[in-house]
Structure formats: C-alpha cells, structure tokens
Structure 1
Amino acid sequence: MNSALLPLLVAAPLSVAGLLILTWLPLWLSRTLLLAPSAVTLVASTALLWQTRDGSMLSHNVALWAEGVSIPFVVDTFSALMLWTTSLLVLVCAAFAIAVGDDKASYFGPLVLVLSAGVTGALMTGDLFNLFVFIEVMLLPAYGLLAMLGSLRRLKSGRIYVTLNLLTSTIFLAGVALVYGAADTVNLGRLAGAAAESPMVATGMGVIILALSVKSAAVPVHGWLARTYPSTSPAVTALFSGLHTKVAIYAIYRLYAVVFDGDATFLWIGVVVFSLTMLVGVLGAVGEDTTRSILVFHMISQIGYILLGVALFTELGLMAGIFYLIHHMIVKASLFLSTGAIEHTHGTGALNRLGGIAKREPLLALIFMGAALSLAGLPPFSGFVAKLTLVAGAFQAGEWVAAVIAVAVSLFTLMSMLKIWGGVFWGKEPEPRRPVEEPQTEGNGATSVLVRPKVPTVMLIPGVVLAATTLSIGLGATVLLDLSATAAANLLDTSTYVEAVLG
C-alpha cells in the first residue's frame, strides 16, 4: 500500500458519513455504505501488516505540508495490528446492528463511520495535539450512539459518560499545553526521550497518561465504565469495548515508549495500579446478576492484564501485552454480541430470567463457551497464549506478585463465566411470564402454551466470526506472536519510528 493513501483511511468513512447525512438512500444501499469503509480498511490494514511485518514503517504528511504544520500519519506493526482489529470489529458490530435493526435509528450509520474515522486517525497520528483531536472525533459520535439506543438508564449513563469524558479531555488538553510550553512542539518525533531531559515535559506527559488511564478505565478511575456500557444496546457496547478504551491503551503504550523512552523510574506505579485493576475488576463481576454487567467488570479486569505489559516494559512483557490487547478486543466483542443476541431475542440479560438455552440453541452455546474459555485463558484459544506469555513476562521481570495475581484472577474469571453458563445456558428454564395462547387442533377452545423464541441465525454470524478468529489465533499463535514481537521491538527501540514521524 502506498503511504500517500494513508489519509484516505480517515477521509473515506468521513465522506461516506456526509453522504448518508445529506442524501436519502434506500435502506439496502445505506447498509452497504455503512459496511464498505470498514471492509476497505480491513483489506488495507492487511496489506499494511504485510508491509510492516519486518519492522519497516510507512509515513506521510497530510497534503504534503512541512513537518510541524501537517498531520503526520505513521504506521508500524503495532498500529497496523490495531487498524486490522478495529476495522474487523466495526464491520462485525455494524453487521450485528443491521441484524437487530439498530441501524434504522436516525444517523446511526454516520455516527459509526465518524467514530471509526476518529479511531483510525488516533492510531496513525504522530502528533500529540492531533491525537487529542482524533480522540475527540471518536468520542463525539459516541455520545449520540449511547443516548439513542438501549434502556431508559442510558439517559443517566449518558450524563455520566459525557461529564467524565469532557473532564478527561480537558485534563488531556492541559497536558498537551504543558508539553508544548516546555518543549515548543507536540510532534512525537521531536519529543522522543524528552521526558528524561525536561521535568516539565515529564509532568505534562504524566497528566496526559493520567487522562488516558481514565479513558482506559484503570483502577481507581474505572467506575464510569461499569455504569455506562451496560445501558446502551448490545451492538454499541460491543463496538465501544473494542475501540474506546483500547485506543487509550494503545496511546499509553506509544507515548511511554517514545516520550519516556521506557524509563524504569515510574514502572512500579503501573505494576501496582494494573495489578489492582485485574483484581478489582474480577471481584466486581462476582456480585453482578446480568450478562452484560458481568462482562463489563471482566473488561475492567482484562484491561489490567493488557496494561501490565507496558508496566513491565521488557521485550517479552510488551509482546505479551500487545498480543493480549488484540486477543481481548476480539473475544470481548464476541461475548457481548452472543449475549446481546440473547438479550435482544428474550428481552433481558438477567441470569434469573433466562435458562436452558444450550438445549434449544447448541450453536449459540458453543459460540459463547468458546469465547468464554478464551477469556478465562484455557487452551487451545488465544487467551491461553496471551495469559501464559504475560505471566512468563512478569516472572522474567521479577514481578512475582503481579504474576500470581494474574493467575488467581484467571480462576475467578472462569468462575464468573461458569456463572453465566449456569444461569443462561445450562440452568433450568424459568416459568413463563406471559404464556402464548395457541388454538387447539381439536375442540373449540384455546390453550396457553409456552412458546420460547429462538435467536435468529443472522444474529449469530457476527459472534461466530469472532469466536472462530480467537480459535484461529490460538491454534496459529506463532503468526500473532511474531507480529507482536516486531511491534514490541519497535517500542523498545523507537529510532525508526522517530525518523518516520520526522519524515
């Protein structure tokens, strides 16, 4: 792929979003245009992965403006991996939204496309201020998606989400201002290693990483995630789970590697905070009684695993963290979509109002179980490789307590997944609340019988795709491990990235 085409990965979804807003199109065409940009990005990111697999990079200054004026777009193995995964998730989640009819809501398609454009820009930019801008482009449509779909709780959750992100964005911008005031630049290439030379730059970057930690829902600033994500529609929850917090995590990896140059002085803070995030998240899931609330707390816990990789900041730790990041994005979206199909069909995600689904719908049960076992870290799924590599990295770095916590949390994760399995799939079918009257074949009367709806097959396809992906990653783990190792090497030695940013 030619580096001059990189800006099109942002411009294409924005252009299609504008077209959907300004013109009336038949439903089938609108749906096609909703899916097309993500499909194109998926193909393009596959090409980018092939080009960067050896550690090389592609860079382009938008509109060929000089460095310092233009937006620098740089793609290495890490950002190419993220582009591939995020485009896959947008494509699959949009397909699920079409299957359940969420896309019929006003401006759903344009909002998703603007969201994906913001994510793509944030993953490619080599400039602090433009990182802030693209994150805001990502967040603005999220406010609309959160408010338009889901239960009535979404209104209260929307206020929390908007307030939290506005405050965090202000903190982020204040950090950018501190860095610019101290270094007279926000270009990542010129900021390489600057935190070690300037206490003011280190302070500004600390403020930025604090803001990103809030956006990634690390403990103790994690409560907003549990109070907002379960309130919107399952399709939007799955979409958010794979994009919002993960872009913040990507930015933490990138900024700490480039600006702090992996300075070991502050790593112990990350080990403590992220170990607590693993533990607090999984314990929070124990007391929940709906599928999505359990999965959201597990999402917090898994964020601790992912961020532990950057806190170790060794080659094995970074490789494990990146592998874990890609694995988690796919698995968590699969779980949200499979349980979301149940919630949409049966009208509830409460464990005590569901049961016996495995007997009636074995394929759905198989999809959930595959993703659940992967989340818990059992072979042959990708979660086993991710956790084994991360625990090995923690032992190698001498962080024994973090490694033990990671293993213990895996057991609690498995218990929580079995809790969902026992309540939703393997449990006893609840008594019907509204029996359906069906005419008898003989006689004049009617009888009340229980007619339980089945999840339409079209709703299962997105979950099948992602569950099959995590199984494929687990069985062919060498491919992703090699790419993650290359990405980790680029973070340990940022000289090539810096040169690419500077053009």
Structure 2
Amino acid sequence: MNVLVILPILIPLTTLLLALLVRRHHAWVTVISMTGSAILLLAGIYLVALAAEGTVLSAQMGGWAAPYGISLVIDRLSAVMVAISGVIGFATLVYCFRQPMPADFLRDTHLFIQGLLVGICGAFVTADIFNLYVWFEVLLIGSFALIALGGGERRLSGAMTYLVLNMLATLLFLLAAGLVYGATGTLNMGELALLFRADEASAGAWLGVILMLVSFSIKAALFPLFGWLPASYHVAWTPVSALFAGLLTKVGVYALIRLVTLLWPEPGVVHSVLLWVACATMIIGVLGAAAQTEVRRILSFHIVSQVGYMVLGLALATPLALAGAVFYLIHHIVVKANLFFVGGIAARLSGSERLAAMGGLYARTPLLAILFAIPALSLAGIPPLSGFWAKFVLVKASLDAGIWVAAFFALFTGIFTLLSMSKIWNETFLKAHPDPERIGATGNGPRSAWFTVAGLAAITVMIGLGAGPVMDYAIAASTQLIEAPAYLQLLNRGGE
C-alpha cells in the first residue's frame, strides 16, 4: 500500500488524537493542532507536486483487492483539494491564535477543526461510495459542533437548521447508496463508471445515482436546496464561518464533479439539468445577497451564487469548462474564506456587522480596506486577479459550446457581485460611522488575524498573476476527470 495516499487522513486524525491526550493543557492543544495543520499543508503541497508530474496514487485498505475493499485515490483534483484544505485549515487556526475567547472554547475549536479536516480530506481521497458516506458523517458531526460551539439562542437555531437539512441530505445519500448497491452489487466508483459508461446500468442504479446527486446538491447548496446555508453560516464564530465558507460546500461540489465525470464523461440529460440548476443558483444567490444588510449574510448568499459557476463548468462538460471549474474551486476557496476573515476584523473595529452600524474604517485602517478590496474584486472577476481568469474561462467555454444563455448569466452574476462588494465597501469603509467613538473601541485584534488575511490576499494575487501554470494544472486535471485512469486502472491492477 502506498502510504502517501492515507497521509491526508492520517495527519489530521493523529493530530486530533494527540490533542485529545493533552486536552487539559490548552497551550499544548494549540501547539499540536497548529503543527498538525502545518504538516497537512506541506503534505498537500507535496502531493500537488507529485500530481503535477503525472503521478497518480492509489491504495486498497485492509488488503482487499478492488472492487471489494475500500479504495483510496489521489489524482490532480484530489491532490489540489487536499492542499487547499491545508491552506484554509492552517489559516483558520492562525486567525484563532490569541483571540479574546475562553480557553476551553479555543481548545474545543482546535479539536473540532481537526475532526472536520479528517472528514474533508477523507472525502477527497476516497474512491468508494460507502466510504464517502462515512466521511460525510464525520464532516457533519464536526461542522455541527463548530456551529453550535459557544451556545446562545441564535447560534443554536442556526445550528439546528444546518443539522436538519444536512442530515436529510446524508440520509438521502445512505438510501441512494443502498439502491445502487442493490442494483449493481458494488459501491466502487471505478466499477460503477464501467457499468454506466457501457450503458449497462439498470433503472435501480440510475435512481440511486440520481438521489445521490440530489444529496450532493444539498451539500453544495445548489438551487433550490440552498436555504440552510445563509440561515446558518453567519451565526457561527467568525473563523468557523470562514472555514465553512471556504471548504464545506466545496466537498459537495467535489462529489458532484467526481461522480458526474466518472459516470457520464459525455454531455447528456444530467448535464442539461445541471446547466439550468447552475444558472438559477448563480442568479438567485446574487439577488439574495443584494437584499441583505449584514456582512456575513451577504457573503453567505455569494457562496451560493459562486457555487453556480463551478457547477456550470461541470454542466458544460467540455475539457475547457471542467478546467474552469477546477480553477474556480481553487480560486474561490481562498477568496471566500478571506472575505469572512476580513469581515470579522471589520466587525470588531466597527462594533457591529450590520452595514447601518458600520463605517469610517478607510480613515481608521486603510490597510484593511486594501485587504478587503483584493478578495472582493477577485470575487467579482476584476483583472488581473484570480476570479477574472476563472470567470473568463467559463464564459469562453460557454460561448465555444454555443450556450449563450450560460455566458449571459455568468456575466450578469459577475456585475451584481461587484455591486454587492461595492455596497460593503461604501458602507464599511467610506461612509462616516454613526457612532465614531465605537471605532476600534475593542482594539485591532491579534496580529495573527491580520497576518492571515494578508497571506490569503497574497495567494489570491499570486494565483491571478500565475494563472498560466494554474490553468495548465487545471486542464490536466480535467483530462484526468474525463478519462478517470486512477479509478479504472485500480480495478485492473487488483488494488495494488
């Protein structure tokens, strides 16, 4: 077995277990958690370097040959998702460092974040449907605990909304997995790909897979199944909101991309449905953001609209469009998490995250204005930042495919995204604060938070300026998605 394949799971799991052993010593929990996240980040970068050279890693757990055992695969897409998860996980813990919160609260945050990273990374590397369900369960437990952490009526209400709808999606996934197994006798993704690509799947298998796609759509917050996200993300502690904004819906998007490209490499009915779902998600999300008056509520609706772009790339099903979806995933995870981080600093300085109660921050901290402008303009697709290239590729892929309506919705959503970011900019930074004495009354916050947003802003700029190599990687990843060598060859090798 190739040990490298299990590193993305083993590192956060080991970190969690070690932190639990010393949980009474809060400082040691922090040290172990941050060290483990740094190691996960380094491991992710190494896996991306291997994947960029064309290396595909695979393994079978327990010595059982595919398709009977649990298969693990790391290709270009899963490698970069592990790496970007390491970036956001480490950034979140740095942001949390020395925050003015109770020691027990900070300790529990570290523990639950490590548990969450176990589930996220497990979902990215598994090649087995039931194993994916298990990682979704792990992810759900960790994410619910993080939302509810700290208590309070508002937070618990949002946590229950999150739990109920995501539990529904998880139960639907379990039902779908049972239907697929009953109809095909397997839950190995590679073997399912062979059945569907040969058009040998039964009606029961089709029903199970469609239910599975609905489950993933709920996890990804696609229209019309997105209501849980803006009702829950804004109630969590700011670093937790940022972590969720960056990673959680992307696990659902990843599962959609992986399953659809495996089973249907050529455009078909499923892609046509996803196309209209993607367009509706973009429009409804951005219009919902326009109606909000709190920073994190606005940003939460923009998560929904931006997920539409990623699914648009999947729906178009051309190599360029899939590459655009991969590029968009990389760009959006960094940008969206950073906007929540910046929003947290702005709310601390203003004394509120309601736009009406904010203002005057440009004069108070021009650096924060710059650190907000970089991810905000990138989200809106302003050149030469990362978001411009991601949107450009998807619009070009839409026009190349002759689907003008998709290009229109993508551009329309980009314009309204810019308007939303302008609203936050004007209300938070340019207008006068209604109560100037409140500005900075609680201080600027720990320097670690500022280092976090500066670092993520730098990554956004680097992705934009280095779009060529990133796009080359994304194009190669899209080819792997369509040809699926990692999943199909695993069966031929008997799981070596």
TM over 0.5: yes
CA displacement, residues 149-207 of structure 1 (integer Å, 9 cap, x when unaligned): 47641111111111111111110011101110111000111111423321322221111
What is the match of residue 476 of structure 1?
466
CA displacement, residues 32-65 of structure 1 (integer Å, 9 cap, x when unaligned): 2111222112111211112111443111112433
CA displacement, residues 76-126 of structure 1 (integer Å, 9 cap, x when unaligned): 001011011011000001111224245741522221111101111110000
Q: Is the aligned partner of 1:229 residue 2:233?
A: yes
Segment drifting more, 226-235 vs 258-267: 258-267
What is the match of residue 447 of structure 1?
none
CA–CA separation in structure 1 for the residues paired with 2:438 and 2:42 = 48
Give the conservation status (yes or no) of the 8 Å contact 1:75–1:124: yes
CA–CA separation in structure 2 for the residues paired with 1:432 and 1:151 = 29
3-state DSSP of counterpart to 1:207: helix
Give the conservation status (yes or no) of the 8 Å contact 2:342–2:453: yes
What is the match of residue 21 of structure 1?
20
3-state DSSP of counterpart to 2:115: helix
Q: Is the aligned partner of 1:465 residue 2:452?
A: no
CA–CA separation in structure 2 for the residues paired with 1:451 and 1:138 = 37
What is the match of residue 4 of structure 1?
3
What is the match of residue 61 of structure 1?
60
For residues 304-343 of structure 1, what are the structure 2 equivalents within 5 Å?
A: 304-343=308-347
Equivalent residue letter for 1:20 = A
Equivalent residue letter for 1:158 = A
Structure 1 position 242, deviation (Å): 1.7
CA–CA separation in structure 2 for the residues paired with 1:284 and 1:113 = 32
Call closer, same or farther: CA 1:495–1:8 in 2, change over 3 Å.
closer
Call closer, same or farther: CA 1:72–1:101 in 2, change over 3 Å.
farther
Structure 1 position 24, deviation (Å): 4.1
CA–CA separation in structure 2 for the residues paired with 1:65 and 1:193 = 20
Structure 1 position 4, deviation (Å): 1.7
Q: Is the aligned partner of 1:96 residue 2:99?
A: no
What is the match of residue 393 of structure 1?
397
TM score, norm. by length of structure 2: 0.94
Segment drifting more, 241-250 vs 326-335: 241-250
Equivalent residue letter for 2:86 = S
CA–CA separation in structure 2 for the residues paired with 1:372 and 1:351 = 16
What is the match of residue 45 of structure 1?
44
CA–CA separation in structure 1 for the residues paired with 2:309 and 2:151 = 29
Equivalent residue letter for 2:126 = T
What is the match of residue 217 of structure 1?
221
Structure 1 position 135, deviation (Å): 1.1
CA–CA separation in structure 2 for the residues paired with 1:309 and 1:99 = 40
Q: Is the aligned partner of 1:384 residue 2:376?
A: no
Equivalent residue letter for 1:266 = V
| Percentage of identical aligned residues | 36
CA–CA separation in structure 2 for the residues paired with 1:58 and 1:10 = 14
CA–CA separation in structure 1 for the residues paired with 2:240 and 2:442 = 26
CA–CA separation in structure 2 for the residues paired with 1:485 and 1:9 = 24
CA–CA separation in structure 1 for the residues paired with 2:147 and 2:128 = 29
Give the conservation status (yes or no) of the 8 Å contact 1:100–1:344: no
Equivalent residue letter for 2:19 = L
3-state DSSP of counterpart to 1:189: helix
For residues 355-374 of structure 1, what are the structure 2 equivalents within 5 Å?
A: 355-374=359-378
Give the conservation status (yes or no) of the 8 Å contact 2:348–2:444: no
What is the match of residue 446 of structure 1?
none
For residues 111-126 of structure 1, what are the structure 2 equivalents within 5 Å?
A: 111-126=112-127
Give the conservation status (yes or no) of the 8 Å contact 2:99–2:445: no
For residues 147-158 of structure 1, what are the structure 2 equivalents within 5 Å?
A: 147-149=148-150, 152-158=153-159
TM score, norm. by length of structure 1: 0.93
Give the conservation status (yes or no) of the 8 Å contact 2:385–2:463: yes
CA–CA separation in structure 1 for the residues paired with 2:291 and 2:246 = 24
What is the match of residue 32 of structure 1?
31
CA–CA separation in structure 1 for the residues paired with 2:362 and 2:438 = 22
CA–CA separation in structure 2 for the residues paired with 1:422 and 1:490 = 44
For structure 2, list consecutive stretches of 5 or more residues without a partner in the other structure: none
What is the match of residue 79 of structure 1?
78
Count of residue pairs brought into register by the alignment: 488
What is the match of residue 197 of structure 1?
200
CA–CA separation in structure 2 for the residues paired with 1:22 and 1:495 = 41
Q: Is the aligned partner of 1:271 residue 2:275?
A: yes
Structure 1 position 472, deviation (Å): 0.2
3-state DSSP of counterpart to 1:72: strand
Structure 1 position 451, deviation (Å): 5.4
Structure 1 position 322, deviation (Å): 0.6
CA displacement, residues 246-298 of structure 1 (integer Å, 9 cap, x when unaligned): 01100100111112334422211111111010000000011111110111111
Give the conservation status (yes or no) of the 8 Å contact 2:78–2:125: yes
CA–CA separation in structure 2 for the residues paired with 1:456 and 1:95 = 10
What is the match of residue 160 of structure 2?
159
Give the conservation status (yes or no) of the 8 Å contact 2:68–2:188: no
**Structure exhibiting the larger radius of gyration computed from Cα positions:** 1
CA–CA separation in structure 2 for the residues paired with 1:11 and 1:359 = 47
CA–CA separation in structure 2 for the residues paired with 1:283 and 1:74 = 39
What is the match of residue 495 of structure 1?
485
CA–CA separation in structure 1 for the residues paired with 2:84 and 2:398 = 25
Give the conservation status (yes or no) of the 8 Å contact 1:55–1:487: no
For structure 1, list consecutive stretches of 5 or more residues without a partner in the other structure: 436-449
